[in-house]
């Protein structure tokens, strides 16, 4: 994130929503550039070098997946999806393609700002950028370099698969990971049809890492999509 006003490119074809975003984000210190088509949005993203992209899936010239894939060819800029309620599979496909998070329309400015803050924090400080390889969120600490996990300063023993699942979530902390993404990264592409695996092992992780597994504070379910590890 730049030291000046954070730059956001909004790719949205609905003028009232663009106006809402321009006004709301502008009043909170963001510099907003707009595009009403996917092609124009890709150009704006390339030209403006934004800190974050807000992308509507329902564009007139191309779908959101095409935009995400195009941007991901040259940039890891966080992409926050805006989606209609009846487009769950499209949201999953877009997250699998490389988007970071999504919001379902209608949404509040407060929730949007919260998601933006998380995405920008994640982009500016990831375990991969930390020479120590240590991730800390609340009472959870993961030492990737030494493969150790602590809860309230007490070391927690995980099985190899539990640790692999947690480490993938840590490396993408704050980002929604779909069931398919998790299966591919933890178990490998050959297990692509085993989408029940993350649910089983997530339940095990919560038993070890959550004070109340039924109401998790770290390992959060994104209904119908996948999971997110809270980054703070």
- The three-state secondary structure class of 206 is helix
What are residue 149's DSSP bridge partners? Answer: 142, 156
Ranking 12-16, 72-76, 104-108, 168-172 by mean pLDDT, the lowest is 72-76
Cα distance between residue 57 and residue 14, in whole Å: 11
pLDDT tens per residue, range 176-192: 999 999 998 888 877 87
Residue 208 has pLDDT above 90, yes or no: yes
Report pLDDT for 1: 39
Instruction: Give pTM, 2 decimals.
Output: 0.69
The residue assigned the tokens 């299966």 is 183
pLDDT tens per residue, range 118-156: 888 777 655 444 555 788 999 999 988 788 999 999 999
Report pLDDT for 198: 94
Helix (H) or strand (E) holding 201, with range, is helix 197-209
Our measurement of the distance from residue 2's CA atom to the centroid of its chain's CA atoms, rounded to an integer in Å, reads 20
Cα distance between residue 103 and residue 3, in whole Å: 26
Provide the 8-state DSSP code for 12: -
- The three-state secondary structure class of 83 is strand
The residue assigned the tokens 């004070």 is 211
Query: What share of the chain has pLDDT > 70, as a percent?
Result: 93
Cα distance between residue 231 and residue 225, in whole Å: 18
Q: Could you tell me the maximum CA-CA distance found in the chain, to the nearest angstrom?
A: 53
């Amino acid at each position: 994130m730049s030291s000046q006003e954070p730059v956001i490119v909004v790719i949205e074809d609905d003028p009232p929503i663009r106006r809402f975003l321009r006004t709301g984000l502008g009043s909170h210190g963001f510099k907003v550039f707009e595009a009403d088509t996917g092609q124009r949005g890709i150009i704006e993203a390339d030209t403006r070098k934004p800190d974050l992209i807000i992308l509507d899936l329902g564009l007139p010239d191309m779908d959101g997946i095409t935009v995400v894939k195009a941007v991901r060819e040259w940039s890891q800029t966080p992409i926050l999806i805006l989606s209609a309620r009846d487009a769950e599979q499209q949201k999953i496909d877009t997250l699998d393609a490389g988007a970071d998070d999504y919001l379902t329309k209608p949404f509040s400015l407060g929730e949007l700002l919260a998601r933006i803050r998380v995405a920008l924090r994640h982009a500016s400080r990831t375990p991969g950028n930390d020479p120590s390889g240590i991730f800390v969120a609340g009472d959870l600490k993961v030492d990737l370099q030494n493969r150790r996990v602590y809860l309230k300063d007490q070391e927690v023993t995980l099985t190899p698969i539990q640790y692999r699942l947690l480490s993938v979530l840590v490396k993408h902390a704050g980002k929604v990971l779909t069931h398919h993404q998790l299966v591919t990264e933890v178990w490998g592409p050959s297990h692509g049809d085993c989408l029940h695996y993350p649910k089983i092992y997530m339940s095990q992780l919560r038993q070890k890492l959550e004070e109340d597994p039924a109401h998790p504070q770290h390992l959060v379910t994104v209904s119908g999509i996948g999971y997110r590890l809270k980054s703070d």
